[in-house]
Amino acid sequence: MSAPGEDYGGLAPDEYARVLEMLGRRPNAVELGIFAAMWSEHCSYKSSKKWLRTLPTDGPRVLQGPGENAGAVDIGGGLAAVFKMESHNHPSFIEPYQGAATGVGGILRDVFTMGARPVAILNALRFGAPDHEATRRLAAGVVAGIGGYGNCVGVPTVGGECSFHPAYNGNILVNAMAVGIAPADRLFRSAAAGVGNAVVYVGSRTGRDGIHGATMASATFDDEAEQQRPTVQVGDPFTGKLLIEACLELMGTDAIVAIQDMGAAGLTSSAFEMASKGGLGVALDLDRVPQREEGMSAYEIMLSESQERMLMVLRPGGEEAAEAVFRKWGLEFAVIGRLTDTGRMVLSQHGRPAADLPIRPLADGSPEYDRPWTRTPPAPHATISPDNRDPVAALRTVLGGPAGASRRWIWEQYDHTVMGDTVGGPGGDAAVVRIHGTARGLALTSDCTPRYCLADPVEGGRQAVAEAWRNLTAVGARPLAVTDNLNFGDPERPEVMGQFVGCIEGMGEACRALDVPVVSGNVSLYNETNGRAVLPTPVVGAVGLLDDLAARTGMALPGPGVALVLVGETRGHLGRSLWLETVEGREEGPPPPVDLAAERRNGDFVRAEIRAGRVAACHDLSDGGLLIAAAEMALAGGVGATLRPPLDDAVAGLFGEDQARYLLAVEDPEDVLERAAAAGVPASRIGGTGGSALTVEGHSSISLDELRDLHEAWMPAWIAGG
């Protein structure tokens, strides 16, 4: 939630004035708390919605765009892929294990609330500098927490990303994405219907978890201050797993009219959203809410963020069967109210009215700001003197340091093989998860390059989408749609707002050009400490489809005697490159420009070649450029390779981060090159496989064993404190 001001329970003065006008009286404490929660940045998207509306959200495959718990796209065979990404940045900074764990729990709920069985989790992590005093502890806790929840519920964590930068010292980012599969014609939604229908609470009991600290500190509530002190949310993945099974079991019947998980602002926002979407009212008896502790106030019950809870509207007569399902799974079940035709939310506790608020006006009347913003000035060109330093020495630095080192230490703590459908787990481009019981698969990835976004938000926004699209393409998948998690600093600062606006502009363009609508997402603002904002980090999570798992590829080189073909144009763009940052220690220059037409042309070409079975291995070029990609492919395949630098300036040719490029291992290069020429796609043969070393022609070489040790050593050594 946003950082509320001191007065009016967190509302701005003009927002409070609007409350007075809407009610025609002063709100009581509970009502004020509800307004503050519903109109918080987190729940109302007041700073961002003007811009979110500019993103493309529709397409022939879209079954559900933004606005529900998760987005959904048609994946054929009568099935839908349901997915969304969400942040748990602030809670993870306060308590890394529980913050990350509850982040995973929350995003899983968003997905199974739609009627989908969760099949995969991804995570995008941003930590501060490795040598910052808090980073090690935070990283260890966050990774353990993500694993702790996902492993226990038995949903494989198949991919993600992780990077470090001092801008995250005071604000780490923990974004989790969940993907599920549902029958396409049985998606569940949250709009309440049927006056008189039961409003039902299921899951865990309500405690004083996560009630917003700053709101709690407001003048009205400091009576029993100690007792009311909010507590950190603790995840209970065991109950989470039971809740998944119980909900999916009940969803197999026709008992449910509408369902909504209790996420941020708990019962308040779930009840409000269900009623307002259905144009109805709701009357709740708070005494019936299952409570973990004695003496909880109406305010606490309404604003608790206890985990593993859901709200449902049931069909008349469905209550008994539903209760039996939840009892069988050992979960709470309580009818806590009814839908009404009054259009109001009426709460009672201990037989007395506790709140009475109009639903539609509160929902529709939520503030929307057109925050002032300034466009990020173009980054001056970085002068990089061309020289012929040894590219292999630079490779050692990049691959053996925090930016380029293997993330194995992270993903080995995640069960990525449970559910028996992980065809491609972490360590490749996109992860590939089989659609259970079929020969088809989903390709999944998450990407963002914040250092590009900082230098040029529009290019950075474009690039995040393009890289995600490329990762899907690199395994042979057809990109379907994306979700996003927009992590930025304080939107009340025009520079930050300018970054936000720029990134969205770039993302929207790329989504249109690459035909991937945004079907869900999340915005996390105010990620800053003492006026220092995080790097603009619009993480893109993308989902693609493989119609035939046999026609896919991975990045492992297949063996000796295969040609390496570079697809896409190499200009040697070193501005904002990993090389410039890690080898030269300079964060300078504009990021590489993204040519969306070239992305599309090159990607469509590569995908067609993969599907035709002409590609033995493929890796898209991103962070670190060509030589890093070649090294990763050689390590994955356990076979060496020799590479000819594509430019005279070897460093620029090997480390430039020009976009829209792929490195392919192919049996018949002439054939592929001919086809590329016919399609207008730049491609050239730049080397071949063999031996047990990676060699740069005209320079030096490094054995795979040494390369592997370098690549694998950094992260475990760092965590161990070395």
Site for ligand ADP, rule CB under 6 A: 123, 125, 159-162, 407, 410-411, 426-429, 447, 471, 622-623
Instruction: Name residue, tokens 């054929």.
Output: 76
Q: How far is the CB of 225 from other proteins (least distance, A)?
A: 13
C-alpha span between 555 and 653 (Å, rounded)? 21
Contact 678, 605 (CB under 8 A): no
User: Parallel, antiparallel, or unpaired: how do β-strands 281-285 and 344-349 relate?
Assistant: parallel
Q: Please tell me the number of Cα atoms within 13 Å of 513 on its side-chain side.
A: 21
Task: Name residues contacting other proteins, limited to 189-228 (CB under 8 A).
Answer: 204, 207-209
417 interacts with other proteins by CB under 8 A: yes
Please tell me what DSSP assigns to residue 183.
E
Binder of residue 427, out of ligand ADP, Mg ion, other proteins, none (CB less than 5 to 8 A by kind): ligand ADP
CB of 553 to ligand ADP, least distance (A): 14
Considering only residues 142 to 161 of the shown chain, the ones binding other proteins according to CB under 8 A are 144, 147-148, 151-154
Between CA 478 and CA 461 the distance in angstroms is 21
Shortest approach of other proteins to residue 706 CB, angstroms? 21
Which of 163, 307, 520, 537 lies at the binding interface for other proteins (CB under 8 A)? 307
For residue 322, give the amino acid letter.
Answer: A
| Residues with a known catalytic role | 42, 88
CA dist., res. 500 & res. 376, Å (int):
10
Give which of ligand ADP, Mg ion, other proteins, none residue 123 binds (C-beta under 5 to 8 Å, depending on kind). Answer: ligand ADP
Intra-chain end-to-end CA distance of the chain, in Å: 37
Least distance between ligand ADP and beta carbon 443 (Å): 12
Query: How many other C-beta atoms lie within 10 A of the C-beta of residue 98?
Result: 23
Q: Which of residues 397-456 bind Mg ion (CB under 5 A)?
A: 429
Binding status of residue 329 toward other proteins by CB under 8 A: yes
Q: Which of 300, 332, 415, 620 binds Mg ion (CB under 5 A)?
A: 620
Least distance CB 713 / ligand ADP (angstroms): 16
Per partner kind, with CB cut-offs from 5 to 8 A, the member of other proteins, Mg ion, ligand ADP, none near residue 162 is ligand ADP
Q: Which is nearer to other proteins, 147 or 521 (CB)?
A: 147
Judged by CB under 5 A, does residue 657 bind Mg ion?
no
Find the binding residues for Mg ion in span 466-525 (CB under 5 A): 471
3-class SS at 415?
Answer: coil
Rounded to whole angstroms, what are the CA distances from 42 to 37, 130, 233, 537? 8, 29, 17, 17
Phi-psi sector, 308: left (phi>0), alpha (psi -120 to 50), beta: left
Residue 670, burial from CB neighbour count under 10 angstroms (0-12, 13-18, 19+):
exposed
**In the complex, what is the shortest distance from the CB of residue 192 to ligand ADP, in angstroms, rounded to a whole number?**
37
Binding partner of residue 208 among ligand ADP, other proteins, Mg ion, none, CB under 5 to 8 Å per kind? Answer: other proteins
Q: In terms of CB distance, is 50 or 90 closer to other proteins?
A: 90
Q: Rounded to 5 degrees, what angle do the CA atoms 481, 484, 490 make?
A: 160
CB of 463 to ligand ADP, least distance (A): 11
Q: Whose Cβ is closer to other proteins: residue 139's or residue 563's?
A: 139
Burial of 294 (0-12, 13-18, 19+ CB in 10 A): exposed
Residue 47 or 239 with smaller CB distance to other proteins: 239
Exposure class string for 411-437: b at 16+ Cβ within 10 A, else e = bebbbbeebebbbbbbbbbbbbbbbee
Nearer Cβ to other proteins, position 68 or 308?
308
Cβ nearer to ligand ADP, comparing 162 with 481: 162
Tokens 């064993």 correspond to 705
Q: Which two tokens stand for residue 435?
A: 């659609």
Q: Is the CB of 169 or the CB of 449 nearer to Mg ion?
A: 449
Minimum gap (Å) between residue 430 Cβ and Mg ion? 7
Q: Does 234 bind other proteins (CB under 8 A)?
A: yes
Stretch that binds other proteins, among 233-241, 463-471, 492-500, 563-571 (CB under 8 A): 233-241
From the CB of residue 612, how many other CB atoms can be counted at a distance below 10 Å?
Answer: 12
Q: Which does 264 bind (CB under 5 to 8 A by kind): other proteins, Mg ion, ligand ADP, none?
A: none
Return the residue nearest Mg ion (CB atom). Answer: 429
Q: For residue 610, how many C-alpha atoms fall within 13 Å in the half-sphere facing its CB?
A: 31
Would you say 236 or 632 has its CB closer to ligand ADP?
632
The two structure tokens encoding residue 713: 């050593």
Collapsed DSSP state (helix, strand, coil) of residue 93: helix
Please state, in angstroms and rounded to a whole number, the distance separating the CA atoms of residues 165 and 698: 34
Gap between the Cα atoms of 301 and 298, Å rounded: 5
Specify the DSSP element, H or E, that contains 134: none
Residues that bind other proteins (CB under 8 A): 94-95, 98, 144, 147-148, 151-154, 204, 207-209, 229, 231-234, 236-239, 241-242, 292-293, 306-307, 329-330, 411-423, 434, 549, 721
Residues that bind Mg ion (CB under 5 A): 429, 471, 620
